[in-house]
Amino acid sequence: MTGCLALNASFEPLTVLPIRRALRLVIDRKAEVLEVDRTRVFRSEKRELACPSVIRLVRYVHVPRKFRRQVTNTFLFARDGYRCQYCNRHKSELRGREFLTRDHVLPLSLGGDNRWENVVTACSACNNRKGSHLPSEVGMHPLHPPHEPNYVELVWAVRRITLVQAKYIRMFYGEDVLRALQSS
């Protein structure tokens, strides 16, 4: 059974909630209903309610990152727009046997780790060239400082979203991220 997609006040998709919890937020006036699943009703002891499929929090909440999700290449590449962060070539511009890889800005051999802030997309050629050097040693700095994307929280939730819910994720994050979420 699909849950309810919860958006922040900014329309940023946050997570998928059980229907019961989503209804609680609506009844307490902490969220407004944006979309209703007309094929389902929620029955409590007292009443029947239309099932919300997308709700939006009335007030913006800052979501603390409690868990550090593992970085998969699917999401790493999507975060970086499928572009090498050193030569800026898109996946589609790579030649013959080149491919996208994960580069550790601070190399693993020098104590680097796999957190979002230390990994970037690199083509195999750039990755080989950088090797296990520091960016400053070889003059190779990522085009965009790596950071953890907010949609990571959604990875575990979107496996069974509806088309209507997918629309809201696409609106906020774009088609690439939606596809990465759905194929991970």
Nearer to Zn ion, 5 or 123 (CB): 123
> Minimum CB separation from Zn ion for residue 47, in Å?
59
Nearer to Zn ion, 58 or 135 (CB): 135
- Cα 151 to Cα 160: distance, rounded to the nearest angstrom: 16
- Cα 184 to Cα 180: distance, rounded to the nearest angstrom: 6
Question: How many residues in the chain?
Answer: 184
Residues of the shown chain interacting with Zn ion in the complex, contacts defined by CB under 5 A: 84, 86-87, 123, 126
Nearer to Zn ion, 86 or 173 (CB): 86
DSSP conformation class of 112: -
Nearer to Zn ion, 110 or 143 (CB): 143
Residue 5 near residue 161 (C-beta atoms within 8 A)? yes
> Minimum CB separation from Zn ion for residue 81, in Å?
13
> Minimum CB separation from Zn ion for residue 138, in Å?
13
- Cα 135 to Cα 157: distance, rounded to the nearest angstrom: 36
DSSP conformation class of 153: G
> Minimum CB separation from Zn ion for residue 95, in Å?
11
For 160, residues 6+ apart whose C-beta sits below 8 A from its C-beta are: 2
